[in-house]
Amino acid sequence: MVLALTVCGIVVALVVLGLFVFGLRRRLIQRSGGTFDCSLRWDVPERPDTSGKGWSYGVARYSGDHVTWFRVFSYAYRPRRVLERASIEVAGRRLPEGEEELALLSDAVILVCLHQGTRLELAMSEDALTGFLAWLEAAPPGQRVNVA
């Protein structure tokens, strides 16, 4: 009985510690500011896939001339993707359809982009989208920015 209670206590402590580390990691990422919730789907086909597969929930952070994207459900402190402003080409935007509505946040708008030849989709709130497009258009003089 004592062994079972000890094992249960250790399991509960590990779960609480894991959740604490998730929260701490997110706070450290957001500490420098300029962050927004953003789901990402990398290397998508030309036709939109509305099955909801391939989306990863994350946090994006503006860092000078690039946006770093971190997965939420990860312990890694390094970003999963780095998108350079000069390499981002906006191909269009759309609203979630079908099962995508369940896979994404309720107020999400999907931005279809090309980054160094790779087609990707970013899903974010309307406010975050406005900020993202303003950041793209605010490129220093001489940089090519393609916003549809």
Confidence of residue 84 (pLDDT cuts 50, 70, 90): very high
* Residue pLDDT, tens place only, 31-56: 877 899 999 999 888 877 777 788 99
Q: How many CB atoms are closer than 10 A to CB 81?
A: 18
Provide the Cα torsion 72, 78, 80, 81; round to 10°. Answer: 120
List pLDDT tens digits, range 96-148. Answer: 988 888 889 889 999 999 999 899 999 999 999 999 999 998 877 766 556 65
Per-residue model confidence (pLDDT) at position 95? 93
Confidence check: pLDDT of 69 > 70:
yes
Q: Give the residue-averaged pLDDT of 83-95.
A: 93
Q: Predicted confidence band at 66 (pLDDT cuts at 50, 70, 90)?
A: very high
Residue 141: phi, psi to the nearest 5? -55, 140
Per-residue pLDDT, 67:
95
- Please report, for residues 30, 40, 49, 140, the alpha-carbon distance to residue 136 in angstroms, rounded to integers and kept in the order given: 20, 17, 26, 10
